[in-house]
């Protein structure tokens, strides 16, 4: 028997289509942790979401890490690698995701480094639109910066709808307009998460709360605009019971089913109809 009980495995297997790991936390593991990794990667498709690449950072790329990452992805049949469009190093690790200045110079610098990583990995990578709380030295808008990096680097996009919502409140823009301007054809997969309301005009991207209605609506809009893409629920702390987490994953599937009706079970379609009737009553 693996780390999951048979009944848990059945329930989770029905609801969870794929899982994500931070490669930094798993590349060098052995013993029991390695057994868990083997078990889960044998039973679920996996993607890697990096924390330490520092694609916009001033220090040279960590070639040793990228080499190990390539081996890790090959060994565990990892489907995609994503990283944040930010930086987290100076001379050492800063343990936070810092905002890259939105400038033409930074576009060329970052795109060049993404190209190097893609070459070293022998595969494309996806860059995530990040939440940020200051835009030092900005000469471009956030959307122009993201689009320029993706085009110049010829890489994919990890679309985080919660980050769009958080930034739209903190930096006062229309989240749907922002969404529309993204290159939908480049989306490798998506993220959705909860956040913390610090003040009326300040939201912190915590991944520590349930997802709010406006963020669910943005995911729905993204599927409407770009078609359905695989979407991961991010939850880093304040963890509720697994059943509650799975109900949010189910909700992702329900919204996906709305734009891809063939994928919905009869039970889900009936539930959807009941919900619609309730809403219109």
Binding site for Fe ion (CB under 5 A): 160, 191
Q: Using the minimum distance from each CB to Fe ion, give the nearer residue, 26 or 39.
A: 26
- Residue 105 Cβ, how far from Fe ion at the closest point, in Å? 26
Q: Using the minimum distance from each CB to Fe ion, give the nearer residue, 162 or 256.
A: 162
- Residue 128 Cβ, how far from Fe ion at the closest point, in Å? 6
- Residue 273 Cβ, how far from Fe ion at the closest point, in Å? 32
Residue written as token pair 């609506």: 217
Q: Using the minimum distance from each CB to Fe ion, give the nearer residue, 123 or 207.
A: 207
Q: Using the minimum distance from each CB to Fe ion, give the nearer residue, 11 or 79.
A: 79
Cα–Cα distances in Å, from 48 out to 59, 197, 212?
Answer: 22, 29, 26
- Residue 240 Cβ, how far from Fe ion at the closest point, in Å? 19
- Residue 78 Cβ, how far from Fe ion at the closest point, in Å? 17
Q: Using the minimum distance from each CB to Fe ion, give the nearer residue, 142 or 160.
A: 160
User: Minimal CB distance to Fe ion: which residue?
Assistant: 191
């Amino acid at each position: 028997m693996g780390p999951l009980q048979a009944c848990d495995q059945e329930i989770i297997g029905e609801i969870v289509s794929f899982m994500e790991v931070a490669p930094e936390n798993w590349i060098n593991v052995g013993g029991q942790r390695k057994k868990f990794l083997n078990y889960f990667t044998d039973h679920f498709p996996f993607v890697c979401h990096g924390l330490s690449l520092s694609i916009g950072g001033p220090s040279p790329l960590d070639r040793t890490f990228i080499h190990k990452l390539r081996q890790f992805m090959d060994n565990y049949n990892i489907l995609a690698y994503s990283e944040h469009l930010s930086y987290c190093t100076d001379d050492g690790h800063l343990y936070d995701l810092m905002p890259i200045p939105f400038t033409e110079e930074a576009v060329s610098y970052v795109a060049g480094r993404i190209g190097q990583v893609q070459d070293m990995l022998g595969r494309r990578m996806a860059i995530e639109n990040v939440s940020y709380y200051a835009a030092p030295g900005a000469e471009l808008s956030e959307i122009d910066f993201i689009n320029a990096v993706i085009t110049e680097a010829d890489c994919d996009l990890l679309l985080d709808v919660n980050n769009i919502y958080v930034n739209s409140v903190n930096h006062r823009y229309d989240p749907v307009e922002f969404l529309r301007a993204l290159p939908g054809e480049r989306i490798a997969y998506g993220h959705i998460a909860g956040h913390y309301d610090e003040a009326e005009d300040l939201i912190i991207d915590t991944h520590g709360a349930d997802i709010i209605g406006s963020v669910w609506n943005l995911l729905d809009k993204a599927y409407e605009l770009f078609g359905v893409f695989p979407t991961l629920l991010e939850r880093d702390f304040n963890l509720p019971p697994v059943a509650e987490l799975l109900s949010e994953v189910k909700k992702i599937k329900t919204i996906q089913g709305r734009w891809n009706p063939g994928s919905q079970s009869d039970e889900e379609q009936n539930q959807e109809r009941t919900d619609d009737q309730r809403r219109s009553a």
